[in-house]
């Protein structure tokens, strides 16, 4: 018995399957990402169909990579939310089939908490998580038995804002990395900077940037301004969370945390505050099965007792709904 854990991620675009050892060694990490047809956004059912086709092969491949037979696993974990209903159900079905076929325990975990806990594998102990992805923009930290959302977007996710802007100006999906490559300063065009208390908003920035593009402003200059403005907003909220909680570690997570400029801004802010900054590898920042497997392991090892709701997906499974009994 190896007591490795297999994790399945399928909350949105990415079908990911990973295997970790109890010591936190990544034994396998594979993913397949659904790309919507040019010019359109993600259709949950199309993405789910992609995952249905991809998951059996991914599961087979990670087991081969890790040189494990399914019945050597200690647990099958999957992301039970938050996310798109059809996509979540696909991952849950795959996880259930694998677990039941081989008599393994099954545990549905919170996707956002998984982004944070994977930062603990990087060495953090009690961090603030700056979680910036397509659908999610949150600043999260542990307090009194739960992971609390200290601040979040009031409208669209930061990655969705980048992708929507990219789509409107003719860039291929996903727009985030393309805008990063195009961004050129140093002249900073002013765009709406919207931080309200601990929350942020990005749709005003998107509208203003699109208007400037329509008026003929160069894409490189706009890409630069969008990044500087949006990332400064996120870093401001993260900094305030660090100041209020007295925590001394920041973890970056989510696909937008792959961005080099965001990492640089976060490093500058944390250095000035004497806070340690953990920026996991890009493969662990984007949605992946490894973080789901790792959270499953951490919960199981921490004595978490599997409950009936852990076998059900929940599209609106908020970060602060999960009772943290394993810390």
Considering only 138, 153, 229, 259, the residue that binds ligand ATP (CB under 6 A) is 259
Half-sphere exposure of 103 toward its Cβ, with a 13 Å CA cutoff? 2
Considering only 81, 83, 108, 280, the residue that binds ligand ATP (CB under 6 A) is 83
- Does 249 help bind ligand ATP (rule: CB under 6 A)? no
Q: Annotate the chain with three-state secondary structure.
A: CCCEEEEEECCCCEEEEEEECCCCCEEEEEEEECCCCCCCCCCHHHHHHHHHHHHHHHHHHHHHHHCCCHHHEEEEEEEEECCCHHHHHHHHHHHHHHHHHHCCCEEEEEHHHHHHHHHHHCCCCCCEEEEECCCCEEEEEEECCEEEEEEEECCCCHHHHHHHHHHHCCCCCCHHHHHHHHCCCCCCCCCCCCEECCEECCHHHHHHHHHHHHCCCCHHHHHHHHHHHHHHHHHHHHHHHHHHHCCCEEEEECHHHHCHHHHHHHHHHHHHHCCEEECCCHHHHCCCHHHHHHHHHHHHHCCCCCCHHHHCCCCCCCHHHCECCCC
Considering only 20, 156, 162, 251, the residue that binds ligand ATP (CB under 6 A) is 162
Considering only 4, 13, 30, 90, the residue that binds ligand ATP (CB under 6 A) is 13
127 or 159: CB nearest ligand ATP: 159
- Does 134 help bind ligand ATP (rule: CB under 6 A)? yes
Find the shortest distance in angstroms from Cβ 138 to ligand ATP. 10
Considering only 287, 288, 290, 319, the residue that binds Fe ion (CB under 5 A) is 287
Considering only 182, 256, 275, 313, the residue that binds ligand ATP (CB under 6 A) is 256
- Does 136 help bind ligand ATP (rule: CB under 6 A)? yes
Find the shortest distance in angstroms from Cβ 266 to ligand ATP. 13
- Does 8 help bind ligand ATP (rule: CB under 6 A)? no
104 or 201: CB nearest ligand ATP: 201
Q: Binding pattern to ligand ATP, positions 192-231, x when CB under 6 A? A: ----------------------------------------
- Does 137 help bind Fe ion (rule: CB under 5 A)? no
Interface residues toward Fe ion, by CB under 5 A: 133, 287
Residues of this chain that interact with ligand ATP (CB under 6 A) are: 11-14, 83, 133-136, 159, 162-163, 174-177, 180, 254-256, 258-259, 286-287
């Amino acid at each position: 018995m190896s007591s490795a854990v297999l994790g399945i991620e399928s909350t949105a675009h990415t079908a990911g399957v990973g295997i970790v050892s109890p010591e936190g060694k990544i034994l396998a990490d594979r993913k397949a990402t659904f790309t919507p047809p040019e010019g359109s956004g993600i259709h949950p059912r199309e993405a789910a169909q992609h995952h249905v086709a991809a998951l059996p092969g991914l599961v087979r491949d990670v087991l081969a990579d890790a040189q494990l037979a399914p019945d050597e696993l200690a647990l099958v974990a999957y992301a039970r939310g938050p996310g798109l209903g059809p996509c979540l159900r696909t991952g849950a079905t795959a996880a259930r089939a694998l677990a039941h076929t081989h008599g393994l325990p099954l545990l549905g975990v919170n996707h956002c908490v998984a982004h944070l806990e994977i930062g603990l594998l990087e060495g953090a102990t009690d961090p603030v998580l700056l979680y910036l992805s397509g659908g999610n923009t949150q600043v999260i930290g542990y307090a009194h038995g739960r992971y609390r959302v200290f601040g979040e977007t009031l409208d669209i996710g930061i990655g969705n804002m980048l992708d929507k802007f990219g789509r409107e100006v003719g860039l291929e999906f996903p727009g985030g990395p393309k805008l990063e490559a195009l961004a050129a300063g140093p002249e900073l065009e002013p765009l709406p900077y919207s931080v309200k208390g601990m929350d942020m908003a990005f749709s005003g920035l998107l509208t203003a940037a699109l208007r400037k593009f329509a008026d003929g402003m160069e894409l490189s200059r706009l890409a630069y301004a969008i990044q500087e403005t949006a990332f400064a907003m996120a870093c401001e909220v993260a900094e305030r969370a660090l100041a209020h909680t007295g925590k001394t570690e920041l973890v970056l997570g989510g696909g937008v945390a792959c961005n080099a400029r965001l990492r640089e801004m976060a490093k500058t802010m944390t250095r000035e505050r004497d806070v340690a900054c953990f920026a996991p590898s890009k493969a662990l920042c984007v949605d992946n099965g490894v973080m789901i497997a790792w959270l499953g392991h951490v919960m199981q090892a921490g004595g978490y007792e599997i409950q009936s709701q852990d076998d059900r997906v929940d599209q609106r499974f908020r970060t602060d709904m999960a009772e943290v009994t394993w810390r």
